[in-house]
Amino acid sequence: MSDKIIVSPSILAADYGKLAEEITKVTEAGAQYIHIDVMDGHFVPNISIGVPVVQSIRKVTNAVFDCHLMISNPIDYIDAFVKAGADLISFHVESNSDIGQTIKKITSANKKAALVVKPNTPINVVFPYLKDISMVLIMTVEPGFGGQSFMHDMLPKVTELRQEIEKQGLNVDIQVDGGVDDTTATLCKKAGANVLVAGSYIFKSPDVKKAIELLKS
């Protein structure tokens, strides 16, 4: 786990007509990661962006590309996202791909692997894989759409995971995604999260720099 709080603005909430400018704005304001939500319209009921967009925006920034694959068969797309410029690839334990094999495919490409759990999935499903991954993403909304309300009942899951990571003596980040703002971020950090995904809160803010600083503080 990083000692500092990492902010990962979700470009799902950005203005796609000026995506390069939006990314530059948040990274210059202090964001360390860029969260890229990839949806296939099958695993989740929405379609977002894919490999060509990742490839295009890679030219804009050196920030860590945090790619969240909300797709049914993530193992089939790892090579493409690696080639496009992903640094960290997270995929769902609920997907159809074999968890161990998918992790290995990501780490074999010298990229960081992360597991994602939906709200209804018990957190202990990730415990056997903690030694092989860099991060766990706990969804604090149902995945698929931005702008949803934070699910407070996910906080005990964050605490349980942090305790297990410490019990195993590992250095694994905990990311939260969904309904994160300065108020809910405080709760998430207290529970043990250190990587915060925020979309609307950052991109719709009149003062992006201040919004990011509040998440980090």
Q: Quote the CA–CA distance of 14 and 30 in Å, as a whole number.
A: 16
Among candidate residues 37, 66, 87, 173, the one labeled active-site is 37
Contact 196, 215 (CB under 8 A): yes
**Mean pLDDT computed over 87-109:** 98
Beta partners for residue 197, in sequence order: 8, 177
Residue at 115 is within a domain: yes
Residue at 157 is within a domain: yes
10 Å CB burial of residue 153 (0-12, 13-18, 19+) is exposed
Beta partners for residue 38, in sequence order: 69
The percent of residues in the chain predicted with pLDDT above 90, rounded, is 90
Lowest mean pLDDT among 11-20, 145-154, 188-197: 145-154
CATH number at residue 64: 3.20.20.70
112 confidence band (pLDDT: 50, 70, 90): very high
Q: Does 45 have pLDDT greater than 90? A: no
Read out DSSP for 104-167? Answer: HHHHHTT-EEEEEE-TTS-GGGGGGGGGG-SEEEEESS-TT-SSPPP-GGGHHHHHHHHHHHHH
**Mean pLDDT computed over 108-129:** 98
CB within 8 A of 112, min separation 6: which ones?
Answer: 87, 88, 89, 106, 133, 134, 135
**Mean pLDDT computed over 154-178:** 98
Q: Is 132 a catalytic residue?
A: no
Q: Does 91 have pLDDT greater than 90? A: yes
Place of tokens 């990229």: 111
Q: What is the pLDDT of residue 3?
A: 59
Q: What is the pLDDT of residue 35?
A: 98
Q: Which of 70, 1, 26, 62 is nearest to 199 (CA)?
A: 26
Among candidate residues 66, 177, 182, 207, the one labeled active-site is 177
Q: How many residues does the chain have?
A: 217
**Mean pLDDT computed over 11-21:** 95
Look at residue 26 and give its three-state secondary structure. Answer: helix
Residue at 1 is within a domain: no
**Mean pLDDT computed over 149-159:** 96
Structural domain boundaries enclosing 58: 6-216
Residue at 47 is within a domain: yes
Residue at 148 is within a domain: yes
Q: What is the pLDDT of residue 143?
A: 81
Q: What is the pLDDT of residue 1?
A: 52
Q: What is the pLDDT of residue 86?
A: 98
Total domains in the chain come to 1
Q: Quote the CA–CA distance of 5 and 194 in Å, as a whole number.
A: 5
Residue at 36 is within a domain: yes
Encoded amino acid at 51, one letter: V
Q: Which of 102, 197, 60, 71 is nearest to 140 (CA)?
A: 197
Q: What is the pLDDT of residue 27?
A: 98
Q: Quote the CA–CA distance of 169 and 108 in Å, as a whole number.
A: 23
Q: Does 146 have pLDDT greater than 80? A: no
Q: Does 2 have pLDDT greater than 90? A: no
**Mean pLDDT computed over 89-105:** 98
Lowest mean pLDDT among 100-104, 140-144, 202-206: 140-144
CB within 8 A of 113, min separation 6: which ones?
Answer: 88, 89, 90, 102, 103, 106, 107, 132, 133, 134
The percent of residues in the chain predicted with pLDDT above 70, rounded, is 97
Q: Is 76 a catalytic residue?
A: no
